[in-house]
Amino acid sequence: MEPPVLDVRNLSIEYRTSRGIVRAVDGVSFSVPKGAIVGLVGESGCGKTTVARSITGVLHQSARIAGGELVFKGKDLVAAPAKEWLEKRWRDISFIPQSAMNSLDPVYRIGAQLEEVLVHRGGRTRAEARSRSSELFDMVGLNPARLDEYPHQFSGGMRQRVAIALALALNPGLVIADEPVTALDVIVQRQILDVIRDLQRKLSLSMILVTHDISVVAYVSDKIVVMYAGRVVETGSTADVLERPRHPYMMGLTNAFPDLDTAAHDLVPIDGSPPDLASPPSGCRFAPRCPFLLPRCETDDPASAAMGEGRSVACHRAPEADDLRARAKESATWLPA
């Protein structure tokens, strides 16, 4: 089997805040297979963006990598000199930040912004850059005749396409997209996801797609990494995780989600909310909300354990997952005690 493009190993990241040190990412591990789209999902504040930014080397200045490795194409980026990492950006690893569509410079024509990246970071000549820009516009479904327009002349969805074109400009080995469709309407969202899927197949892109929306992941990604309160709780192929969740948090989410296709069943919320990362509970971080907790869950941290091919789960009761899943389908299970 081909080695993964990226192997995140036991990554921890801390923020310095007025309330002390917040460990926003705590021992996160997952890998990105070559040519795959990996969906990194979880609720607001669980640490998705922090992980994404760390890989691209653009962490906030109050953050620091407290441990772990980011092995990109066989080489650990964390241990590498900062300069080397910086060079990887754009060329090898490109980033589409959260709200990328608002990050275009309003005073320059869009084509000029693309050419800028191609010439200054990619070492292309002006003429090459011009033709590559047209090619990129074509690729993301924009009319190259509009390269000379300004960002305000583009709709949100079109600007998001430009952000994707920018990220692809230098044929990176890995693209990281943080909530690439979140601010968009469903129709535009679907069109952008189609562009992403299409490009992945044509260019065999390796990609991490960060989103809070499980439906987005279900639509485009091959593999899913579920985060909860700074940890990875479950990973596996998208189909397997969605159809047979093995972590109680994922089981709970399945009930909480309104679904258009299934009958209008009653939605069942997961009582409570994620823990404050400044003072996380000892033991399992989901324990305060988990209907299946055992006494040991509140004291022992469940390690992430491999469960079959490409599958890992961090729950003491993962071996009983099939039973728990059946119980999780009943709303009474989730009623607050």
Ligand X SMILES: Nc1ncnc2c1ncn2[C@@H]1O[C@H](COP(=O)(O)OP(=O)(O)OP(=O)(O)O)[C@@H](O)[C@H]1O
Residues near another protein (CB under 8 A) are 43-44, 141, 155, 157-158, 161, 185-191, 193-194, 197, 212-216, 218-219, 238-239, 242-243, 249, 252-261, 264, 266-271, 273
Helix (H) or strand (E) holding 136: helix 126-139
Using CB under 6 A as the binding rule, whether residue 95 contacts ligand X is answered as no
Q: Which does 90 bind (CB under 5 to 8 A by kind): ligand SF4, another protein, ligand X, none?
A: none
Residue whose CB is less far from Mg ion, 49 or 238: 49
Q: Which does 67 bind (CB under 5 to 8 A by kind): Mg ion, ligand X, ligand SF4, none?
A: none
Cα(160)–Cα(154) distance, rounded to whole angstroms?
9
**Residue that is written with structure tokens 């509970």 in the block:** 281
Residue 259 token pair: 């679904």
Q: Contact with ligand X (CB under 6 A): which of 11, 136, 209, 277?
A: 277
Segment lying near ligand X (by CB under 6 A), choices 44-52, 166-174, 302-310, 324-332: 44-52
Cα(169)–Cα(9) distance, rounded to whole angstroms?
28
Using CB under 6 A as the binding rule, whether residue 48 contacts ligand X is answered as yes
245-264 binders of ligand SF4 (CB under 6 A): 248
Distance between the two ends of the chain, CA-based, in angstroms?
A: 47
Helix (H) or strand (E) holding 8: strand 6-17
Instruction: Report the nearest approach of ligand X to the CB of residue 225 (Å).
Output: 12
Cα(141)–Cα(128) distance, rounded to whole angstroms?
20
Instruction: Report the nearest approach of another protein to the CB of residue 214 (Å).
Output: 4
Using CB under 6 A as the binding rule, whether residue 274 contacts ligand SF4 is answered as no
Distances (CA, A) of 125 to 117, 118, 132, 168: 11, 8, 10, 18
| CB contact at 8 A, 40 and 222 | no
Q: What are phi and psi of 218, to 5 degrees?
A: -60, -35
Binding site for ligand SF4 (CB under 6 A): 248, 284, 286-287, 290, 292-294, 297, 302, 315-317
Q: Give the footprint of ligand X on this chain (CB under 6 A).
A: 15, 17, 22, 24, 42, 44-50, 60, 62, 212, 277
Residues that bind Mg ion (CB under 5 A): 49
